[in-house]
Amino acid sequence: MKPIKFLSTVLILLLGLATVSAQENLDAKTIIKRSDEKLKGENNTAEMKMTIVRPTWKREMQLKTWGKGDDYSLILVTAPARDKGTAFLMREKEIWNWQPSIDRVIKLPPSMMMQSWMGSDFTNDDLVKQSSMVEDYSHKLLGRESIDGRDCYMIEMVPHEEAAVVWGKVVVWVDVKEYMQMKIEFYDEDDYLVNTMYGKAVKEMGGKILPSILEVIPADEEGNKTIIEYLSLDFGVNLKESFFSVQSMKRVR
């Protein structure tokens, strides 16, 4: 081998090793932070279809959502007719539910965060994200694993003692290249698996590569699952904190 060709080969190998090393040395909290920021953005709005599947029946709902960082989110049910107008607001860890059928606003206590959201396999905490994946947990990189052919970081998240978190442990698989959350396992305080969420149908949405379908499957309820499909997603909206109010919750369409 000629000296120049040999030297170039060595340099390529060294650069490759440096890249792998940089990826492996990326700390777990930074990986989770990047994946969380990619999913949320500073501001976002979306339209979704939720399908609740049970062994003997299936129900569909249409939703609109608005979000601003970790502290503000608003969810509006637009269909079916019997649920239309129902809204949920999260503002700086406080959560409200507007029920137009009875003309009443209800403030949800922390004890309700583990309850089912609208009869689905998502909890209230899943939908309004009361807890922060970045700040409320300690993070540990367990290794790497392939999910649907994608190389993923496998990260264990354990809540801080003082954090108002409903889960005993969460394990997240984050795509190495795109920082997408491809799989999440949720465990209770006794370390039993409660449910698993999968990210599927990866495509470009709002200028980002993300799973367009989220599927939650309970561990101990055979035949049950809930599917959320993003119909549209926009990160370019300008939302002010004042938008996320009880008054807005009643007015949005």
Q: Which domain holds residue 118?
A: 27-251
The number of distinct structural domains making up the chain is 1
Closest by CA to 96, choosing from 106, 111, 110, 86, is: 106
Cα–Cα distance measured from residue 69 to residue 168, given in angstroms and rounded to the nearest whole number: 24
Q: Is residue 130 part of a domain?
A: yes
How does DSSP assign 128-145, residue by residue? H--S-TTTSEEEEEEEEE
Percent of the chain with pLDDT over 70: 88
Q: Is residue 12 part of a domain?
A: no
* pTM of the complete model: 0.82
pLDDT at 57 over 90: yes
Q: Is residue 13 part of a domain?
A: no
Contacts 24+ apart (CB under 8 A), 18-21: none
Q: Is residue 21 part of a domain?
A: no
Q: Is residue 19 part of a domain?
A: no
Mean pLDDT for 169-176 is: 97
Q: Is residue 87 part of a domain?
A: yes
Closest by CA to 116, choosing from 190, 224, 212, 192, is: 224
Cα–Cα distance measured from residue 75 to residue 31, given in angstroms and rounded to the nearest whole number: 27
Q: What is the CATH number of the domain that holds 230?
A: 2.50.20.10
pLDDT tens-digit series, residues 41-53: 678 999 999 999 9
Q: Is residue 16 part of a domain?
A: no
Closest by CA to 213, choosing from 194, 222, 196, 226, is: 226
Q: Is residue 163 part of a domain?
A: yes
Cα–Cα distance measured from residue 187 to residue 168, given in angstroms and rounded to the nearest whole number: 6
pLDDT tens-digit series, residues 123-159: 877 766 656 888 889 999 999 999 999 999 999 999 9
